[in-house]
Chain A
Amino acid sequence: MSPRTPELHYDAVVIGAGTAGMTAAARLAEGGARVCVLAKGVGSTHLAPGTIDVLGYAPDRVEEPEGALPGFIAEHPDHPYALIGAEAIAPALQWFAERVEAGPLPGYRYVGGLDRNHLLPTAVGVMRPSALVPETMAGGDERAREAVCVVGMRPLRDFHAALCAANLSRNGPSARAVEAAVEVDRADVNSLGLARRFDDPAWRAAFAAKLAPLVRTEERVALPAVLGLRDPHGAWEDLQQRLGRAVFEIPTLPPSVPGMRLFEILKAALRAARGRLVLGAEVIGADRAGGRIEAVRTHASGHDVHYHARWFVLATGGFASGAISIASDWTAHENALDLPLRGFPAPGQPRFVADYFAEQPMARTGVAVDGSLRAEGAENVFVAGASLPGSLPWKEGSGDGIALASGHKVAQAVLDAEATSKLRTPA
């Protein structure tokens, strides 16, 4: 007999704490399921701009995602959006926007939707299409024609205001860069370090006082996305008032402050619905019974813990997060549950193409699913987010939309299945 290992039981276990996993988990918990999220660590939220990009390029730049999606889906029948269904995307965005407004950041909200993409500047001054964006960023839209004053801060080496302004001027509104003097107690600081300063009203007031004389009357003011973690809406309004001008944030290199806000919002939604989050718990295998997963095993400190559930949601990501890896014999593997993959080049087929920015042959690799996002060979496992096959998020500008819509969708699928089984076996 082997020594006892701890076992816990839930209705649903979600693997991964990125946007897809947290969305699925929060929604499941809100639907009354007992949910536990297992994650090796914090996920992609902290590395992404915090905007919800649904469809930016198909392959030309998309103005209206709503109008472009049906054609895009028709052309890509294996794309996650084809499986999710175009009609399921708007409710997911709506759900998310409501969670933001009910969330822990007072006044903070997302604006936009599927009717029209925003065109917002990146840190290098290139316009990026995005459907649903924090209100604090929306003022950067290209179609607002006022000139832009891009504010740099010397200790923040991750944001080059002059580069951003030069590129912006090339195609969009006229832009120039200024440098605001900021007082920090270290030689350099990242976005997060500055965001913590912006949380302090007194520090912010001093900053605004120094910046005000540098900004011209007709200009919009662009700041790197550092306007605080605790009360970004308050900080944003405060600065607009003090400067008497429109202010907007531009996403920076990681750590992403808007991404951290997004994580806090989803975490709060999960907590409010009494879902459980276990961080540091890498899923290292599954107990299977035929076509079902009975339990997943995490490597906790000292001993493994088995988490049993009727349903599992796999939202661990793809190659970038390490959820899918390639062994030295050129076989690809999904590492948590060892599920079959789709989209990986067969032996003998080309693995790479010479043009780095072209579509690479293995780029659409993901966990093989059926039309309802169920994993092949595991009937009680749904797949969400970057684990899904068939998309090129970085090229399409679709990653966050896929994550949110698929997370939302699989939660509904589990809740529906639970309701059906309860009808069949009355308590």
Chain B
Amino acid sequence: MTTPIDELLRGSLDHCVKCTICETACPVAAATPLFPGPKYAGPQAERYRVADEPSVEWSVDYCSGCGICTQVCPQGVKIAEINAQARNKLKNQKGVPLRDRIITRPTWLGRLGTPAAPIANWSLTFKPARLLGEKLLKVHRDAAAPEFAGRRFSTWARKRTSPATGRKVVYFHNCGTEYYEPWEGEKLVAILEHNGFEVVVPKQDCCGLPLQSSGLFGDARKVVLRLAKALAPHVRDDDTVIVGNATSCTLMLKREAREILGLEDDPDLRLVSERTYDICEFLLELHDRGELKTDFKPIDETIAYHAPCQQQGHWIGKPALELLALVPGLKVAEMDARCCGIAGTYGLKAEKYDIAMAVGANLFEQIASSGADAVACDSETCRWQITHATKQPSVHPIDFLHRAYGLDGAA
């Protein structure tokens, strides 16, 4: 069965002039011969993929789904999206490993891990446990694994009331904030409230991106539609927007679910997609309108900034850079590397860990030679990978705004 979105994606193939610009930008093909590159695996291999016939092309499983190929294509070919669908077909054919059914469920992991955080966190650093995990589940023993915070963001949010100001913003906190870095959500709420917004935190769940990127489309559709249904009622007026601090998850809501999962027709998802903003995108636009408070105290530090691939997929440039430039004293070195390698869950997988580290090597070198005290990066999985590889602390860019506003309680 072909849907209009299939037509849109496959139809875009006709625009491919084989110019190889996507090949020049692909971080995975640069690091491993196992992935021949987006053009080979996508527009070229697509002619061998016939509906209802088995896939004959296996290398696409090594595509990390970072989406850079689509971003740089001057002809508008949906390369990454086509490759994501090819990966889904491959998974259907080959079968989905147990690992991919587990690590793509941040909600299950979070609910299990949160109450048992001390034990769960200990097991993540306990070598024999990791070895066992690699043997049984094919999760690489050294892969960056976040620690459970032991508390949930939503529990904190439920216990408090955001002051009503007449200007409402809906907060889509991702699973990373919910289970691993609740403080990032608390900071985001504080920044928005400082700027006069009432922050609404609806009951919500995963966006389905990990499932989608591992090729489990059926499950991913259910999960993302459930989220859209939870968020949509809050933005039915003309003004309210949804902001999120996980650029991958917000991109899933904005575009990927619609294009890759073929959910173009769901009215809730469409509304949520149009109203979703990355937090830095939202704050920069506020600043452009002269509505962002700029009572920033100086921060005399040098930091490195890396824009994650999925942030680049928003097609909005790098708003974090312009926001960070507002903080007096803060020196920001913009990293000029494409990808840290992790691509969500890609770099956790035993057979892909080394590739992911090789993909990120250039970024890690740049960070090391930048002399930065810390790294700012918009995506949580990228931060975990960067800290794992460089031993440098990494935080969301808004952490610096939070500090500069004096919201961290420091004098």
Contact = CB atoms under 8 A, between A and B. Distances in A.
Interface of A: 1-4, 6-9, 36, 39-43, 46-47, 185-186, 190, 192, 196, 254-255, 260, 271, 274, 276-282, 298-303, 305, 321-322
B20 interface: yes
B289 to A, nearest CB: 8
A227 to B, nearest CB: 16
A72 B76 CA distance: 37
Contacts of A298: 315
A2 B238 CA distance: 7
Given A8-B288, A302-B253, A36 B24 contact: no
Interface of B: 15, 19-21, 23-25, 30, 33, 36, 70-76, 238-239, 241, 251, 253-255, 273-277, 281, 284-285, 288-289, 312-318, 322, 325, 334
A302 B274 contact: yes
A42 B68 CA distance: 11
13 contacts: A6-B281, A41-B21, A41-B71, A41-B72, A192-B24, A196-B30, A255-B20, A255-B21, A276-B318, A279-B317, A280-B312, A302-B314, A303-B254
B254 A47 contact: no
B26 to A, nearest CB: 10
A301 B19 contact: no
B315 A255 contact: no
B74 A42 contact: yes
Contacts of A186: 33, 36
Nearest to B69: A41
A278 B315 contact: yes
A278 B76 CA distance: 15
A302 B322 contact: no
Q: Which of B20, B255, B312, B325 lies at the interface centre, i.e. has the most chain A CB atoms within 10 A of its CB?
A: B20
Contacts of B277: 6
Nearest to B30: A196
Nearest to A41: B74
A301 B81 CA distance: 13
A280 B309 CA distance: 12
Given A8-B288, A186-B36, A255-B23, A41 B75 contact: yes
Q: Which 8 A-B pairs have CB atoms at the shortest separation, nearest pair first?
A: A302-B254, A41-B74, A278-B317, A280-B315, A301-B255, A280-B71, A301-B254, A186-B33
A46 B316 CA distance: 22
Contacts of B317: 36, 276-279, 281
Contact of B239 (A4, A9, A36, A301): A4
B62 to A, nearest CB: 13
Contact of A301 (B33, B241, B314, B322): B314
A192 B20 CA distance: 10
Q: Which of A2, A43, A301 lies at the interface centre, i.e. has the most chain B CB atoms within 10 A of its CB?
A: A301
Contacts of B273: 302-303
Nearest to A45: B21
B74 A43 contact: yes
Contacts of A271: 334
B33 A3 contact: no
A2 B24 CA distance: 40
Given A7-B285, A41-B71, 6 more contacts: A2-B238, A36-B317, A46-B20, A186-B36, A280-B71, A300-B315
Given A8-B285, A298-B315, A40 B33 contact: no
Contacts of B19: 46-47, 254-255
A233 B322 CA distance: 33
Given A3-B238, A277-B317, A255 B24 contact: yes
B318 to A, nearest CB: 8
A300 B316 contact: yes
A42 B314 contact: no
A322 B33 contact: no
Q: Which of A47, A271, A303 lies at the interface centre, i.e. has the most chain B CB atoms within 10 A of its CB?
A: A303
Given A36-B317, A190-B23, A255-B24, A302 B276 contact: yes
Contacts of A301: 251, 254-255, 313-316
A37 B274 CA distance: 23
A192 B19 CA distance: 13
Contacts of A36: 317
B315 A42 contact: no
A190 B20 contact: yes
B158 to A, nearest CB: 28
A207 to B, nearest CB: 18
Nearest to B322: A276
B285 A6 contact: yes
B25 A42 contact: yes
Contacts of A279: 71-72, 312, 315, 317
Q: Which of B21, B255, B285 lies at the interface centre, i.e. has the most chain A CB atoms within 10 A of its CB?
A: B21
A273 to B, nearest CB: 13
B27 to A, nearest CB: 12
B312 A322 contact: no
A399 to B, nearest CB: 16
Q: Which of A41, A260, A281 lies at the interface centre, i.e. has the most chain B CB atoms within 10 A of its CB?
A: A41
Contacts of B36: 186
Contacts of A303: 254, 273-275
A417 to B, nearest CB: 23
Contacts of A299: 315
B288 A9 contact: yes
Given A1-B238, A7-B285, A185-B33, A42 B316 contact: no
Contacts of A40: 73-74, 76
A255 B30 CA distance: 14
